[in-house]
Structure 1
């Protein structure tokens, strides 16, 4: 083999080795990206819900028993769990709230600005408060929804009845109407997402 042919042979071998190494590197990069994608998907699926909601113990202005106030509070708490997507929201239990707050803080007397401050202590995005009163032999329940970031009253509502059990269904409906004011993320067809208010909520006349 003459010197020129030998040179071309060496160049061909060198090019082939270079191409082989490039192909191996490309395949390893592909494998790495695939593995990263799997881990990223797993991490995303494990991300906790984005927003937290606290329903504070209702204020009792009707001389009810503690278990009766707890019953009315839990009606709204249960509706919050039912109405808000679990993938986006966590609704704190009464036990969660008690554990997270400083000892001695009385939530039953916490309304308005106090409710917003309590929500910030709990590190929640939304706070719902309630007050039970008795007027001329009938019970009245007023509930309010606050956004803790702005401190604004977002929505409120009222219902009532002669007996506590008479208020169960009306209070459930009022809680659903109240929670419809909370924006929920809807995934779009293009893969993006947007926060959209849900239908079904309108401001009471005293908020207009």
Structure 2
């Protein structure tokens, strides 16, 4: 685990991220906040590309909780069976849709606690939805952010919760909204797990990673 970077270095890192990609976007396809919740819930232990492939047709016919309920578990399974853990995920989608219809008039709540009460929706999923849809500075720590945070020294921590707190504490407020996406995209395309592309990295000179590749 790298040592914690100082405020000015972190600020310079995110200034570079911002210059390279002023408006970073999540890669999960969705048509509204409900389909975003479903897509993020389905993405657990699956790739965004795999989820997008499975949900394009699904979201064309079921873009509200009631329409999803009308499909039923078997109908959802027919669309998402290429995704890992599809049977349990289909059950969760139907359960969370039922709760949204029964308790929230078919609307998606915008509080972390309410989102986390939905089947298949954990803190990470809730934070992604809060950040992407309601533009709240919520930080969802996935494997990419955990790796980048620790390698670089931006947000070191031994657990996901520790890294989440470090991201919230260490990254300047004016970069908080997009921090989640900048870190994910950097981890996905540059600071890769096995072969990081250090030679072409825009923050190479600021990063604390000792095993930089040439």
Pair in the same fold by TM > 0.5:
no
Q: RCO greater where, 1 or 2, for CA within 8 Å and sep 6 or more?
A: 2
TM-score by length of 1: 0.25
Q: Which has the higher helix share?
A: 2
Q: Which has the higher strand share?
A: 1
Q: Which has the larger radius of gyration?
A: 1
